[in-house]
Chain A
Amino acid sequence: MNSNDVETLHAPGERCNADSLKKQLNYLHELPFLKQGLDATKSMILILNTCRQAIFANKAFLTMVNMKESSELIGKRTGEIISCVNACAAPNGCGTAAACKYCNAVNTVLETMTTNGESTGEFSNINTINGYEQNINLSIHVAPLQVQGEMFFVVSFADNSDSVRKRMLEQTFFHDIINTAGALKGIVGLLKDDVPEKIKPEVEFVEKAFKSLVEEIQSQKYMIDAENKQLVLQLTKSETSGILKSVSKLYEGHDVAISKTLILDDHCVNMHIYTDQRLLRRILGNMVKNALEASDDGGAVTLGCSTEKDGNEWLIFWVHNDQYMDDRVQNLVFQRSFSTKGTGRGLGTYSMKLFGETFLKGKVGFFTNQGQGTTFYIKLPLQQLANE
């Protein structure tokens, strides 16, 4: 190893000399199944020495960097192999430029070198391919490997450009669209009282359309947040009758309710509860919407709530229609993307379970039989609903 002081603004810049590299390559050749094993995996793998120089790359890695043989990259560092724009920004190559302080491809390897444990990171990198700068997003995992007393580092990469783009799109899209659509809904709501009587029906229509639009956007956002375990519960005090009325109001004028009747049960239990109204309304809304869609013209859907004791005390919100669900539907109804309404649908029932059980800690289910129809319900523990 050349141990002279080598100029660097971050990671050590020194490299192994040719003899040391040759010795290290021989170690690997002595491990007969290493190459075959690593070539058999789809993960992109590099093995680095303590100077962060490559001494092996598997087939998947070579394919990513458009190389045919490992020999083309022996002795080079990761950034030099993937044509990172910062790899030639300092005389001693990858890891030694000022910008490298913020590069997780270098820092994750350095972490393993320091701790001698495994480390994981995510990095985004600009590289030059065919003369054009391109942005890539990779996740990186580094594990130490000792061979004949010498340390090496097995670095595996996975391309996560799609998930990073999706995450950014979700965040930007939802932030901007909720901002604007929500504000427009608010402005129209405030203007409603100021406009002449003649155009009031049109303004009310626009307000209702914005309300539905915002509801739809929020429902998608809640679900993505819930799946990413980022949904923050907002517990507020509310009355069960208020929740049922708001759900009923949302759907009584909805397209799916045309030629059908939505009934609020006369015997609903009314009490104060602490819960996340947004999620509960969303769950009940989906139950009502599905029940209306499944009903024949002239059919009725009933919405209600009651209490039940079975060791624990439960508050049960339920939605009933007179349609029977066949055996296939019964078995698939809560699966993500299962729908009786064609492909690309089916998030409603899935989200009922996700919101109702994972976040509200209740139980979501249904009863169905040919004589009496179908009842979807959410059971919430009363004790939990009493706590602020």
Chain B
Amino acid sequence: MRILIAEDDLASRIFMKKFLSKYGDCDVAVNGLEALDAFLAALKEERPYHLICLDVMMPKLDGLKALKAIRDIEQQKGIDGQRRTKIIMTTALNDKITITNAYDAGCEAYAWKPIEIDKFIIVMGKLGLI
């Protein structure tokens, strides 16, 4: 499995990479723009990511905007249904508007920080990733 972790907080990045490395090859991005570049590069290589973990609050391009951009690109390229990359939003914010917007923009799941490993594994299982 190819995994992209987009996270601006260093400690969170280290934690997510250490945790998710058990399940696949992890790349990291420190902002939404880098995440979008990595997503496009993976598509170009025809080795798309199976899972992208997108932090909501990130510099340059926030997680919600990156999510919308990824879904737009997939739509333009005719990537739909199960072929779409699974996206789990991660955030320390839990306001209703952000959550609603994330689901409207097409994320598969939403994980509140601090990430609970057991719950995260269950969600990956439900998404058919493991």
Q: Please indicate whether A and B come from the same complex rather than being unrelated chains.
A: yes
Q: Which of A174, A183, A231 contacts B9 (CB 8 A)?
A: A183
B residues near A175, Cβ cutoff 8 Å = 57, 92-93
- The chain B residue with its CB closest to the CB of A174 is B92
A260 within 8 A of B: no
Stretch of B14-22, B30-38, B73-81 lying at the A interface: B14-22
B residues near A178, Cβ cutoff 8 Å = 92, 113-114
Closest chain B CB from A195 CB (angstroms)? 13
Closest chain B CB from A193 CB (angstroms)? 11
- The chain B residue with its CB closest to the CB of A181 is B114
Contact with B along A216-260 (1 / 0, CB 8 A): 000000000100001110100000000000000000000000000
Query: CA A183 – CA B9 in complex, angstroms?
Result: 9
Stretch of A67-75, A184-192, A197-205 lying at the B interface: A184-192
A residues near B95, Cβ cutoff 8 Å = 225, 230, 232
- The chain B residue with its CB closest to the CB of A180 is B11
Q: Which of B11, B18, B19, B117 contacts A179 (CB 8 A)?
A: B11
Query: CA A234 – CA B13 in complex, angstroms?
Result: 25
A316 within 8 A of B: no
B residues near A184, Cβ cutoff 8 Å = 11, 15
On whether the beta carbons of A187 and B94 are closer than 8 Å, the reply is no
Query: CA A181 – CA B114 in complex, angstroms?
Result: 8
B115 within 8 A of A: yes
B residues near A186, Cβ cutoff 8 Å = 15, 19, 114-115, 117
On whether the beta carbons of A190 and B18 are closer than 8 Å, the reply is yes
Closest chain B CB from A35 CB (angstroms)? 44
A214 within 8 A of B: yes
Number of interface residues of B (CB under 8 A): 21
Query: CA A184 – CA B19 in complex, angstroms?
Result: 12
On whether the beta carbons of B12 and A183 are closer than 8 Å, the reply is yes
Query: CA A119 – CA B9 in complex, angstroms?
Result: 40
A182 within 8 A of B: yes
- The chain A residue with its CB closest to the CB of B114 is A182
On whether the beta carbons of A182 and B113 are closer than 8 Å, the reply is yes
On whether the beta carbons of B114 and A225 are closer than 8 Å, the reply is no
Tell me whether A190 and B19 are in contact in the complex, defined as CB-CB below 8 angstroms, given that A179-B92, A180-B9, A232-B96 are known contacts: yes
Query: CA A214 – CA B112 in complex, angstroms?
Result: 13
Residues 77-112 of B at the A interface (beta carbon under 8 Å): 92-96, 99, 112
Contact with A along B42-72 (1 / 0, CB 8 A): 0000000000000001000000000000000
Query: CA A333 – CA B57 in complex, angstroms?
Result: 39
On whether the beta carbons of A232 and B99 are closer than 8 Å, the reply is yes
Closest chain A CB from B101 CB (angstroms)? 13
Contact with B along A154-198 (1 / 0, CB 8 A): 000000000000000001001110111111111101100000000
On whether the beta carbons of A187 and B114 are closer than 8 Å, the reply is no
Cβ contacts A to B, 9 pairs, < 8 Å? A174-B92, A175-B93, A178-B114, A180-B9, A182-B12, A182-B113, A186-B15, A214-B114, A234-B112
Given A175-B93, A179-B113, A190-B117, 16 more pairs with CB closer than 8 A? A175-B57, A175-B92, A178-B114, A179-B9, A179-B11, A179-B92, A182-B113, A182-B114, A182-B115, A183-B9, A186-B15, A189-B117, A190-B18, A225-B94, A225-B95, A232-B95
